[in-house]
Every structure is written in structure tokens, then in C-alpha cells.
Chains A and B, each alone.
Chain A
């Protein structure tokens, strides 16, 4: 991206993408999906975070999130979800990042302010470990992005092809939502919450 005529949206998107990568690393770590030694302690925005050490894992998170950059900038990506599945491919738990990037916002972005707000997410996330129940064996996980509209292949060329439509099974009942953190700093609104199947769903 050209540095000179960076739009506030572009600027924000870059920060957000970076943040998402870190946050997803943290979530995967906190869920204990992989042995903890597969992660190393790093410092991001002055917060201790855990980053995947394994090249494949790190690459998966990095590439999928960075592929979202143009969509986030355009405000197309509505939600970025980390979904943990049980054995039967039914989602057990979702970590939802709900993004809203105000396209009409034109004044400059205070990156400092933005980082300050995002840092709170990481802190909260690290302390939200207790919310997360341990996963059963044979669990699986993926990163899913929800778009406001399907990106047209003609416009965006090759990159769009990397995305495959998801066949995630839906829950039958409305989910239970546990908010973790919200922020509202122009032009970005970001909320992180967890979704669990409702109690009745689990019985069925």
C-alpha cells in the first residue's frame, strides 16, 4: 500500500490485521489446543502475548488474516471468527471479532489511541482464560470470516480464490454470548465476544 496516500481506513486495517493475528495466536494458545511449548512469549504493544512457534501454524494464522486486509479496509469483512469444533464438526465455541470500519471517516487516525484500545483486548483476553472450557480430544479449529457481501472474483482477482465457502454447521438455537471486550475508536469499532451453544442445544 502506498504510504503517502494512506486512507484512515487503510491505516486502521493494517493495525487491526496485525492485532488480529496476535489475538488469534493468543486464543489458540489459551485454549490449550497445542502444547504450550509450541508457543513462545513475545511482547506486543507492551503486553506479553504468546506466538505460535511452529512455522505452519504461524503461517496459517498470518496468511489467512493478512488476506483479509483489503476486505477489512473496505469494510466488507464483518466478523472474523475463530471456531473450535468438536469431533462431529459441530462448533463448540466461537471467538467472534466483530469489525466495523467507518468508510465515511476522513480525518486522521491516532494510532496511539488505537493501540491503546487494542491493548485492552489483549489484556482482557489473557485474563479470560477461565471462561474457556477445555476442549475435548479430537477437536479442531479454523478461522472463518463473515463478509457483508461476497467478494466478486472479477475485481479482486487471484486473492479471492484462496477463500473457500465454509460449510460450518449452524447451531439450532440462538447462541449464548459472552462479551469479552469492546472498543469504539474512530473509524474502527471492534467487539470481541464468545459464542457458545445454548444449554438446550447441548442436550439435543
Chain B
């Protein structure tokens, strides 16, 4: 052994006499055959590596700190901050494992080459594969898995930092967020914002309507990347009706006109959730984005004959020849919202014009679209009107003209469909065309024709981009604008992309741009120099892959005529202010109605409900934009229900629940969005299934195994509960669509069923009946109790004369809490044990309780039946004790443990009662010892240890202990030849 370690040292050129002295070899166990098998070989190898390491350690610490080493000062340094730490490095790390090893060398730690549970104290790694992450325990063997930063930072701080903060997999994340919520819940309550609301209400009458629905966002759907900006979609909404509404209102309010004498300034129209009961409805009525979103449905209905596939063929006579070439054309109207409005005002053509809700020059309404002359002043979409006016005082502002938009969009699309059979609508003013060309066709000619036709028909200009794929076509349109066209042939792609800033690529937002800028990448040409792996590592696999493709002009997406709707929802981020929870509930109800309407309109149901809430960020002031959402944190939570839903009642129930689970201060809420995904086609036959399911669910909840539930009653009660729906066990189930029906008269209710209801439902029902229900139950209860008592009394007389009736009551199932008993049914067992109400358990019949307690993990059992133990202390005879233990199915030690604090009866120690109790208990104890001495000294041991411990608080137990200990020790001696070591 020592020879081999010596040779290894020699090999490294560091003969060290010290290593032998400082490292006493552990007595080698496998002395006889060091290499008899792989195991012993590894043992030897590990030992050798360790020796080497220690040799290195001593020499390197000498080198690093010669003064300390020479002076023989064994200060902190020579001990090292990592004393006692042994790391194992797994996989690639920064710094590398070699560096880490050196750190450990210098600072007194150990570095282990081969993992072993017993030698390693920390596992260091930067990344973990998914499988290991999922099965972390199997990988780590319970050892901490720590990022290498821990070592680096510890060295920097020159002290061993807690590794907890450096854990690779943080379980803490979810917890912290929960805690945050809790603390927010408690602390934020006090900071009222009522002063703001006061002002708000005052202002309402004086301020004209502005920027209604600026930030509406209809949940986006569809697969294509390009549609992100504008593809907010929702299928439903009767757009026609809506637009008529807008129009009629516009005409009514012509009085205070601007520009064309038309106005959509609806004075006095309330516009916050505070004052407007129909806020949600109105909100969407005046929303531009909502128009864009719902436009697609209209389009789909109108052009369904084209979309179905057999489009016109007049465009391409060579349709069936082989040498076809497919190109993609992207056509986009130039500043659609403006040009449609001003096409009737040719004199405004080269003047700055913008479209906005409000013309108030001081307002914070946002410009939705500006024409090119206006853009030259720096006016952009999304800018506040007051800023725009500041830049360009003579800016003309128009209100929306939804009907005109509709008309132009329809014309636009009919032209597109005429020329091409495959049109992918991106928005009302933007589309992709997949054009098949023969070799000698010039794509630019076709674009020319289309654009000309568009202009002639609509008097609005359009730009076209042509490329090999959707990406290139889209990029080409950008350089074509305004009123131009651009063709990027295949051989010019690289040239074009080289100078293109990365921000021009779709999907590249602020974050990605910033990240790439750090790498000094600003154009696609530069981006092309980065390998795919690095991109994927930095930006995530999807994004990295996408960018890698995009900067090479590769885009695999295909022009698709019809895109499937993936989700339907509605979101309101403007004007959301709640005073109290009633406001918020009201608002949620309206939002649910809206979403439900949209779902019905599309004829679909959704299974996943996502609620998104924007909450004012801590410390964020009142938003710049009037009634806007300002600086917000967004919280969202999804819930998937077993059966798809689209009715208001269930939506509302789930939404309410989810909203409540956020524990928010409603005053801080700035926006709410509700979205349904996993859509299924609505099928009326589903409904029936759901109802049956619901019924089953309720009947299973009410079944107690004893009485069959009467059918009529079960339906009765489920109807009552469905709308309120607070029952925890059914929270995920689908409730019936029926609204609150009339309560059945009290006399019709089966009290047996009621008694077996879970407590929440019972409470709710009780509330509905204004407490009558409970009264009736209680009166019944007393009768029952009386009966059972008398019956029992008879029984026990046969069994045991000594038993007092008082005790009997104690041990008998107390019926009073029957209504709650089902709460603890095994299949309804609460997920968290902290929710078990032990006062309920206590009142259960013994056998039921024993069952339940068996299902509780042991650590909770301590708390069981605190009350009853007190009185049972004075149980008549010792046989009664056995009876009790048998019934409870527990050992005495468990019982003692559970009732520890209650075993101090206030009885005078000198009284006769006291003596009687002590004698009884001693008898019981002796009997217990006799029973257990052969088979279970562990139990006796536990009992006496417990008694000893408890006797410090209870003179009764002390007495008991003193009296019975001699017997115990004698018995142990007799059976085991020793005495218990207590």
C-alpha cells in the first residue's frame, strides 16, 4: 500500500515525506487480495487519488502561503475555508473541474474523482439533464447539488457560504412566489388608494371619452410567426351589430365634431369598471384591436367558398404543367387605418394624418395609425396624442370608421382571391399569397397587377414583397413600403440579409436584440457567424433554431388558407379599477359572459381555463396613460377541467375560484384576461354526460355506505350547489349550466342526505335556508342521542356492570357531527394534513376514526382526540382501558403520546378518587406489562420512557411510574436476564 502511494508521488515529481505522516492510511480491509475484483481495484484507486490529492494539497498550500506554513502558524488559512467539504464535479462546469480542484487544494477541501455517497459532501455541476433533474434524489443521493459559483463566491468571501442559495434546482422558487403573495395579501391591505378613486369619479363627467380599448388584447392564436402583432383573434362577436352600434352612436353625437363633423366622443359615457356596469361589453364595442381580432371571423364566413379550396383559376393558365415555381407574396396596405379614412379627402393625402379615439390634444389616447407624412414627424403608432401634437401641431386626427375598414378589407381580399387561390389572411389589411409561376413569368408583374387593381378599387395604396418564403416576402415588403414592391430573388438573399438589422426579423424583440447586442451582433450577416448551438444555448432552443434559420433566409412555414383557432378569450387592461371584491366579482362575471359568448359564437368549448391578472407593481405610480394599466406584474394560472365547458356559470365558478386563489388586493388589479384553450367542438350531447357525471360525483360524496341516497334528493341538492360550487372535492368538475333555481321547501329535503354532506356544502345550504337547516338537524340529533344512549346502556349492563354511563357516552359514536363525517372519507382525504380537523375526528365513531387515523401519516397522529383522553383517564376499571385500546387500535404508548398534555386532571392528590384512579391505573399497567413482556418490550420501553418524561408534569403519572417500574424491571429480568435501560 505505502509502496504504491510512494510511487504515485514520485511520478508526479513531488516526493513528500509529509504525506505519509499526515495521512494515516486506514487499515486496509482487503489486504489479502488488493485486486481480486473491480470493487477492490476501485477502492485502491480512490485511495491513491486521495493520497495524491493530499500531497498536492500540502505542497500547494505551502506554495501559496509560505509564510504561514513556514512559521508553523496553523491559522484559518492553513485549515482552509473548505475544511470538511468534499466535492464531486459532474459534467461541464465554469470554472472547470480542474480549476475547482485547485481551489479545493488551496483552501483545504477535498476533491473526489469517483462519486461515493460516503466521501462526497457536495455535488458541483452547472447543468443537469432533464432526466436527472426529474429524479434528483436518485442522482444526488440526498447530497446538495450546488452550482460552482458557490465555491467561487466562498473563496471571494473567504468564508464558507451557505450552499442553499446556490442549489442548482431550486425548490424554493414556487415557495417564494407563494410567500410573496401571502405577504402582499397581508401588507398591502392597508395602503388604500381611495384618494385616487375620488379624483377619478370627479373627472369622469368632465373628461371626454378617450382611447377606449387601447390595450384590448384578444388572445392570440394560430401558428404563424408573422401574425404576432396583429393576430389577436377571437372568433365570435357579431361584428355587424357592433359596428352598427358604433355608427349610430357616432351619428347621434355629431354635435361636437372634429374633422369631418363626425364624432365618437361620447361625453359622459362612464369608462371604468368602477362606474359602468356594462363596462366589459362597451369596452369591446369600441376597441380597434377587437375589430381586427373579430374581423377574421367575418372574413372566414365571407370567403369560405374560396377557402374551401376550389378557388378561381383565371390567374394561372399553366396550372397543370410541371415546371411550376412557387413564390410567396406578401401584400400589406399602406397605413390602412389612415388611408381608408382619408381616401375621400384627397387634399389631405400629403398632410400628416393619424387615427385615434380621441382628438383631445392633451389626452393620453394612443395613436393607432399615422400616414407617411405624419411619420416623418416622428409620429408612431402607440404614441400619446399629446406627444404627437407636440411634434406636429397641425396633425389631423380622425376617429375610426369601422364600416369603411370593413368595406375596404372586403374589396382587398376579393382582389387577392381573384388572383391567387391560396391566400393566408394575417389581418384585415395584410395577407400572404402563395403564387405558382411558370419559369418565364415575372413575379413582379403579378404584384404590379394586384397592386394596381387594389388602388383602383379602394383608392388606397398597397405594398408588396416577394420572396421564396414567407420570411423573405415579409422582409421585402418592409423595404417596399410605401406604395412599392420589392422582389428578393434567391441569389440576392444573402446580400439582402447581410445588412439587415436583426430587429427587423420577426420574433426578435427587445430582449433578444439586447442579448445579441452584448455579443456585438447587430445584423443578420453577423448573426450568421454564430453557430446554432451557441444561439440555442443563449436564447433557448426554439428561438435559437428560429434565428439561425431566419438569418439565412430559411423559413419553413407554409402559406395556409385556414388557420385553426387554438384559443379564445378576452382580456381587459384598460380602465380596470375595483373598489372591493364585489366589483371584481361583477367584473369577472361580465368577462365570463363575454368569453362564453365568443365560445358559443365559434361553437366550441374549452378545457383549459387560463386566468391572467395584471397587478400594479409595488411602488409603481399611477400610470401615465389615463386609466391605463401602468407598470404591472402579470400573474396567470391555468386549470384544466375534465370536460370542456363554455357556459357562463361554470366559467364564472372556476374563474372566481382561481381569482380568489391569487389572494390579491382587488384595488391593485389593473387588468384581467380570461382565455380558454384545448378547444373542442361543442356538442350538445356532451351536456347530458356532464350532468350525469356531476350527479355521480355528488352521490358518491354523499354516500356513506349505510343509507342509500335517494335519487330525488341528490339531484335536488346538486342543483343547489352547482352554481355556488365551493365544494372542494368537485372544484374541477363541471357544474351544470342551470342558474340558481328556487330552493326546495325545507320539508322536501332528506335530512339524512343533508347530514352526510361535506361541511362546506352544509354550511352553504344552511345559509340559504337562513340557519333553519341546522336547527332541524340539531333537534333530530338530540333525539337520536337519547336513543342511542339508552340502547347502549342496556348493552353495557350485560358486559360490564362497572361502566358508568358517562364513560359510555364518551366512547360511543357521537352522532352530532355526522354531517361532517364524510369529509374524512378515504377517497376525499385532504391532500394536506394540516386541513384535517381533529375536533371532527374526535367525534367520529371509534371504528371510523381508527380507519382514518390509519391513513394519516404517523406524525399527525399525535394530535388525535385530545379531548376524550382527559375524561377517559378516569375510566372505571382496567379492563375498560384495554377495551379502549382495542377499539382505538393503538398501543398505550401511542395513546400516551397523543394525550400527553391532557393527562393532568385537576383532582386533589389526597382524595379517595385519586387513590382509586391510581390503583386502577396500576392494575391496568401491570396487566399491560404481563401481556407485552413476552412479545413486545419495545412497547413497554416506550411506555415507560414516556411515563417518565410526562411524570414531571403530572403527579399522577409519577405515582403510576414509581409503582409499576419495579414490576417491569423484575419481569424483564426474568425474561431477558437484564433490566431496561430507561
User: Which residues from chain A sit less than 8 Å from chain B, CB to CB?
Assistant: 34-38, 40-41, 53-55, 98, 100, 174-182, 184, 189, 191, 193, 195-196, 198
Contacts and interface: CB of A to CB of B under 8 A. Distances in A.
Contact of B978 (A34, A177, A191): A177
A37 B39 CA distance: 9
Most A Cβ at <10 Å: residue of B29, B976, B979: B976
Query: Which 8 A-B pairs give the minimum distances between C-beta atoms?
Result: A175-B978, A176-B981, A182-B938, A179-B938, A182-B936, A179-B941, A177-B978, A184-B935
B939 interface: yes
B964 to A, nearest CB: 17
Given A37-B116, A179-B940, 18 more contacts: A35-B26, A35-B27, A37-B46, A37-B118, A41-B117, A55-B36, A175-B978, A176-B979, A176-B980, A176-B981, A177-B937, A177-B972, A179-B980, A181-B938, A182-B935, A182-B937, A191-B938, A193-B937
Contacts of A100: 934-935
A54 B978 contact: no
A34 B979 contact: no
A54 B118 CA distance: 17
Contacts of B977: 174-175
Interface in B880-938: 934-938
Given A34-B29, A37-B43, A54-B29, A189 B935 contact: yes
Interface in B1-56: 26-27, 29-30, 36, 39, 43, 46
A191 B972 CA distance: 13
B973 interface: yes
Contacts of A179: 937-938, 940-941, 980
Contacts of B981: 176-178, 196
B973 A35 contact: no
A191 B118 contact: no
Nearest to B936: A182
A177 B974 CA distance: 13
Contacts of A196: 981
A179 B942 CA distance: 9
10 contacts: A35-B26, A35-B29, A54-B29, A175-B979, A176-B981, A177-B972, A181-B938, A184-B936, A191-B936, A193-B976
Contacts of B939: 182
Contacts, number: 68
Nearest to B978: A175
Contact of B118 (A36, A176, A184): A36
A179 B976 CA distance: 11
Contact of B935 (A34, A180, A191): A191
Contacts of A53: 39
B305 to A, nearest CB: 66
A53 B29 CA distance: 11
Contacts of A182: 935-939
A180 to B, nearest CB: 7
A186 to B, nearest CB: 11
B935 A178 contact: no
Nearest to B935: A184
Contacts of A54: 29-30
A122 to B, nearest CB: 15
Question: Which of A175, A177, A184 counts the most B-chain CB atoms under 10 A from its CB?
Answer: A177
Given A189-B934, A191-B936, A191-B938, A38 B976 contact: no
B930 to A, nearest CB: 15
Contacts of B29: 34-35, 38, 54
A67 B980 CA distance: 31
A174 B978 contact: yes
A55 B941 CA distance: 38
A181 B938 CA distance: 6
Contacts of A181: 938
Nearest to A178: B981
Indicate the member of A54, A100, A179 with the most B CB atoms within 10 Å.
Answer: A179
A31 B977 CA distance: 24
Contacts of A193: 937-938, 976
Most chain A beta-carbon contacts within 10 A, residue among B29, B937, B980: B937
A35 B119 CA distance: 12
Nearest to B973: A174
Contacts of B937: 177, 179, 182, 191, 193
Interface string B182-201: 00000000000000000000
A176 B976 CA distance: 10
Interface in B936-982: 936-941, 972-973, 976-981
Contacts of A191: 935-938
B978 A176 contact: yes
A180 B938 contact: yes
A34 B30 CA distance: 10
Interface in B499-537: none
A113 to B, nearest CB: 15
Residue with the highest number of chain B CB atoms closer than 10 Å, among A37, A55, A189, A198: A37
Interface in B306-332: none
Nearest to B972: A177
A106 to B, nearest CB: 20
Nearest to A173: B978
Contacts of A176: 978-981
A174 B934 contact: no
Nearest to B47: A37
